Structure 1
Amino acid sequence: MTNSTLKPQLVDFLKSKHVPEELYELANTKWHVLTQKRILLKGKSYTRGDELTITPEMLASSVDRFGESLFTNFLNDAAQLAAWGEVRFATGPRPDDFIRLVPGSQAWKLAKQAALNKAGKYPYGTELRDEAMRRVEEQYGPGDLSTGGSTWTHAHNGGES
């Protein structure tokens, strides 16, 4: 989006708030969060898979006394890598096949443990417990929490090198 495709009122508003011109293209764009880390942005908490729309008001309120904005880091992946050491945001809405919890991550482990605790409340040997445990395995995979869901097997060769 260039300045010529923005509504004149929007351009006037952004100029009046001293928003750097390079950020005008971000006004009213939708993004989704890629990082598992919880991010606080303009008073709202976001985590992996959450969506946000960068409003003109957000852009305007982000400009500091030096005329800089954290949204400069949204312009490309290289800027995000330089600022945060990872790409935290991607343009557009979250894809339908987006994986919200990265297997093996701390958030994934906490979610799996919570699901196991919930399933474990049913008595052993009941269909309810078996079904609940199957659902946990379908969602999080087999294995324990320490391996990130993978089950590792090791062959032992009787002590030979």
Structure 2
Amino acid sequence: MSQRGQFQVCSGVNLLLIEFSDGNATASPNGDGIVVEVDGETHELTREAAADLRESLADALTERREFFRTAGEFRADGSYVVSRKAANSAGNAKMFDSFEALRRLYDRLPDRFDADDVGRTGITGSRRHMLLRHFAEHPAFDCRIRRRNPLSAEKTEDDRSAEPAAEAEE
């Protein structure tokens, strides 16, 4: 086994291979085990160890992270769902094709934005407020709640300084 980030690479699980090796990996059966080659390193596992790792990866890939009022869930199909923390109906959730799709939505919003700005992207109803809160709660977004009534948020200086120089000159 070898260490890659916080995870151990020791199985032929395709998702792991793609994530940690940029595609430079192969896996093949070998008698009663699995042989995995990742970036030139070869690892041999029992089928039981490979199955245990696959289960751990499935749990990690479908992580649900709860914040103060919202939650974000990575699903096995690659989608990302934002929901109200304590709710379990579809009316309290918004699914994106990926976390990157949510990031692109955020990037298109102005430095100061409210539910109407989020609504211009086609998102309706209370989901607009939920997303606004999620942007402020999730550490991947440099954003904070600006006002509570009416609810509005603003991108922090960290996000603004990441903009391309051409946009900053406008």
TM bin (shorter chain): under 0.3
Which protein has the larger Cα radius of gyration, Structure 1 or Structure 2?
1
Larger % of helix: which? 1
TM normalised by structure 1 equals: 0.26
For normalisation by structure 2, the TM-score amounts to 0.25
